Structure 1
């Protein structure tokens, strides 16, 4: 997505359409049901929702280009995380109980990002440039925090004694939520202040020839970003009903709902990461990809935990044995991929194969 030139009409139209749809649904008290008219509503909702998410990420990119790296990547990640928390909380805490949705979505994000997105970015970059460089120091910080967060939120709940797995007791969940927030906060301080140079590749930052955005365009992007995020949050309830109906109608396994939520929120950011890889800025791709995983665990789990506690809902976090094996494999593979600071197409292909295995096992466990 380009951040230069005139503002794309779609980035203005879709937030407006989303607000209009929210107003119509609210005024008419529309309640989605699986029917012919419901199918039309679902199609309209998905088109508007996807368009609005893309618009939100576009405006986040405009602002990110203005403020530079790594703050720009951080802003993109936080914008997507707001959408993710809204969708997960709405579906999980809705009328139909889905206590494992947060786990399924977080696990799906880790697999999509660390295997699917990272693999495709490395593979595409390797095809065009043979090898690409990443900063080992920054990748190590990403992976150390990510591995710790993923283990204490997705694996450890299976082995605690206070409550039978795969759930934490209220005290344990509160402690883990505080720890993940603390880890993520210190990571952000490290990324943006203490060791900013660990995350900024040679292609990042402003050159002397870069042109700053006019204040009016900057203000427009800020306003439309906030409007788009608000619209997505307000449409999350209807989206949850459509997802539930679709999963029930197709007979898909419950974990597919988490994958759909993850795909929706990651699609625009994935486009930005792929564009960066094609432009030989793999470091930005990795910042976007691994940053998404960290933000998902560091912000989503505590937010959903608070909602579950307030509304007295059970939160299932522990993965089964199959998911744990895939998670450990992802950890080991990521360390090998980023350990030398240079990547090639074979690293990318291996990550893509692991992601294909994850998708296959969803339907043929």
Structure 2
């Protein structure tokens, strides 16, 4: 057992998160030269791969849907901390940061992760099969949270344009927490079987068909290393963001592109984990990751920024613009049509990816 623990820690997946956090501490708040940016980028990529590895170890130990929930919540908590920190430093210029980040996460997860997972799963087995009840419940929760938090502020009259009044913001925060809590209870306790992978015949797969699960001690080590890797991913992404910002500005692109790039980096661990699950015929696990991440992003971010708005000086803009509302509506409609049959062809995956591409193109050229 001691040798097994030592092997786990000394492997690159154990050493790299620790080294990445050390590098983050050494570079935090400093202006980085080009050579150091390249080094940081390499460690960032390694931390992403390490995070995926440790998330899969934990998922193998606790089983589905707990495994995908661990990764989604861990990434989102660190993402929320980053958003609040940036809002505290940015003042009025960061008033729309929470909205832009959450919407970017919704589009990347609901169209990027879901689309890639369906495409990979369908290309492997001709048809990607998943549980319509569980996936439909997740999509309905994401839709409700997005509508209450990102659409309604554009149409209310009590607050300023695109902003909630204080009572409305409190309601949105409480509704987000309650709905997210109810979904997690449904996913992990009352209707856990709705979120387990299924076979083409509809049989629920409640066990894994490969090696025995790791020990509790190994899983705890992976949990710690996962947290370190995710901290490194978010922190190093923030460290290279000035270089990204200067590159975006030099290319004459809108500043919102920076948020998309950072969101893509932060969500990369979940994307890789979802694609790997789809390749193993666990499309339901992939959808749990994608929709669960979107839900956690809204359900945890909105209450966090609502609480932070008490001491943040700048305004808090949550309402989406017309273009983004159209994209959100298309995502919900297409997602509903994808979920209802409980199976999808490569076409459905391609449609979701086309919506993500439209979002990115319109962000580059509004």
TM-score, normalised via structure 1 length: 0.88
Deviation at 1:284, TM superposition (A): 0.8
Q: Partner of 1:20 in structure 2?
A: 22
Deviation at 1:210, TM superposition (A): 4.5
Counterpart Cα distance in 2 of 1:281 and 1:208: 11
Q: Is 1:292 paired with 2:306?
A: no
Q: Partner of 1:41 in structure 2?
A: 36
Q: Partner of 1:108 in structure 2?
A: 104
Counterpart Cα distance in 2 of 1:103 and 1:207: 38
Counterpart Cα distance in 1 of 2:103 and 2:23: 31
- Paired positions, count: 353
8 Å contact kept, 1:87–1:261: no
Counterpart Cα distance in 2 of 1:136 and 1:216: 35
Counterpart Cα distance in 2 of 1:78 and 1:149: 16
1:7-49 deviation line (CA, Å, top 9, x unaligned): 48332232222232244347xxx632xxxx5323333333323
1:162-192 deviation line (CA, Å, top 9, x unaligned): 1122111222212211110110001100110
Counterpart Cα distance in 2 of 1:211 and 1:227: 25
Counterpart Cα distance in 2 of 1:350 and 1:17: 40
Report the more deviating stretch, 196-205 or 289-298: 196-205
Secondary structure in 1 matching 2:121? helix
Q: Is 1:168 paired with 2:183?
A: no
Give me the CA root mean square deviation. 2.3
Secondary structure in 1 matching 2:64? coil
Deviation at 1:58, TM superposition (A): 2.3
8 Å contact kept, 1:101–1:257: no
| CA gap 1:117/1:239 in 2 versus in 1, 3 angstroms | same
**Matched ranges for 1:199-348 at <5 A:** 199-202=195-198, 204-206=205-207, 210-231=211-232, 238-348=239-349
Q: Partner of 2:74 in structure 1?
A: 79
8 Å contact kept, 1:180–1:297: yes
Report the more deviating stretch, 338-347 or 203-212: 203-212
Which structure 1 segments of 5+ residues have no match?
1-5
Counterpart Cα distance in 1 of 2:308 and 2:42: 28
Deviation at 1:124, TM superposition (A): 2.1
| CA gap 1:320/1:229 in 2 versus in 1, 3 angstroms | same
Secondary structure in 2 matching 1:309? coil
Deviation at 1:215, TM superposition (A): 4.4
**Matched ranges for 1:84-233 at <5 A:** 84-95=79-90, 97-202=93-198, 204-206=205-207, 210-231=211-232
Report the more deviating stretch, 193-202 or 203-212: 203-212
Q: Partner of 2:63 in structure 1?
A: 68
Deviation at 1:118, TM superposition (A): 1.4
| CA gap 1:78/1:171 in 2 versus in 1, 3 angstroms | same
Deviation at 1:314, TM superposition (A): 1.7
Counterpart Cα distance in 1 of 2:195 and 2:262: 28
| CA gap 1:79/1:341 in 2 versus in 1, 3 angstroms | same
1:319-347 deviation line (CA, Å, top 9, x unaligned): 11111011001100000001111111111
| CA gap 1:131/1:23 in 2 versus in 1, 3 angstroms | closer
8 Å contact kept, 2:248–2:254: yes
Counterpart Cα distance in 1 of 2:42 and 2:292: 27
Counterpart Cα distance in 2 of 1:193 and 1:364: 45
